Structure 1
Amino acid sequence: MRSHLIRALLVLAVLLLSACVTSNTGNLRAGNARAVVAAESLPAPDSTGAGGAYTGVPDYRIGALDLLQVSVFQLDAMSREVRVNSSGMISLPLIGAVAAGGKTVPELEQEIASRLTEDYLQNPQVSVFVKEYTSQRVTVEGAVNKPGIFPITGRTSLLQAVAMSEGLTPLADPGAVVVFRTIGGQRMAALFDLREIRAGNAEDPQVYGDDIIVIDQSGPRTALKTITESLRGIVGFRTF
């Protein structure tokens, strides 16, 4: 199923790129194309807040295996790190099991506060911080040893994501790594060269949940090569 999705995405990208390569190249030469020169300023996808690995997003919904920091003002016994289990539950002193999965951070704070108000405190001040967004996942496909969908725990770079897939195959082209991302409601792609990143000549960009990373093969022409060739010389993400 996943491979079919990737193939369909690549075919669509090829068709769209063939229609827009000429106009986008003209925009680039005229100085109108959007380019980003530093990894820190590469735009995050629509599902994240700017600048961090999902930090501070009010509508983020907690998922299984996320790591939470729970604090209650003037009640140290309640302040601890808890891991959401596979059923979406956490366990806390005094109040026991609490359903966290599917809730936003403010909703979980309100739930814990309500449970404490019933028997222990008046107007408790509850704070919940998501330390690891394990429920966020990145897809790595193409010429890697272990393609698949991998969880992201905190800030994760492109090199770290490739390492999760146990590295490149002997047929991989390290200069043809494409990251697909939805930005501003548009599907976009950016080309990266792992050799330049490893040599310290290019910054290692942050990846986010729902990113799709595809590593092309060297040698004969592939569907992805149409994308990589059109992206060469462009820094940052571009609509395809």
Structure 2
Amino acid sequence: MRKRKSLIILLLLPLLLAGCQSYKKVPYLQDALQEVAAGDTGTADMPLYDARIMPKDLLTIVVSCPEEPELAIPFNLTVTSPLSQENNYLTNQPVLQQYLVDNKGNIDFPIIGNIHIGGLTKSEAEQLIKDKLQPQFREVPIVTVRMVNYKISVIGEVAHPGTFTISNEKVNIFEALAMAGDMTVYGIRDKVKLIREDNQGKREIITLNLNDSDIINSPHYYLQQNDILYVTPNKTVSKNSGISNSTTIWISVVGTLVSLASLITTIIK
């Protein structure tokens, strides 16, 4: 009986050791967890992120002036929306005209004409348009710019890969992963790829280490519109480490090992 117990322990020991070893690869921001455990909770001051307007962005621009509302009307173009049925009647509602930023970063704005806003933040674009509109108004107009098609994509070893539209035009790496259901256990956390294209059309692939807490201070922590986050899969590493997200597989493996141990013990006897 003692030999049997010893044999079972020997068979299960590599599995248990592998499980402990594999855990080290799973948590995000590992060094930060260690610092918190040691009582160090230092933080770094970072400027607030503000998205910049890129070619092919779709914008809505609303101009208003409470003192002179009639003067703002020519700058708020509308288009007819598709027909919809309400109370057995077909209706359509006007919606604001959207402005497509061309490859040179320009938009064609009513009355004013071409305005170069590529590379500007929303607040910078609002101020620029406001300055150009000022001669048309006696009072300072209010200009509101919104990005309609701010989207990012998350693919690879995540639970729900896909493309996601961001309504507040601000999303960081971990929020993007949360939208995609987080990484699976087969995702390599220290080799996440970020595919990005700048406003000049230059593409680059950036490798991110999400195990390193300094990622939150990285210029790539916040995603830009049209960014693609690719979680590199490595099933071989996961299998060697003994990680599995299926309880059935665990039970099957343990059951097989126990049966094998019993068979070997019977043969030895």
* Larger relative strand fraction: 1
What TM-score comes out, normalization by structure 1 length? Answer: 0.46
* Larger relative helix fraction: 2
What TM-score comes out, normalization by structure 2 length? Answer: 0.42
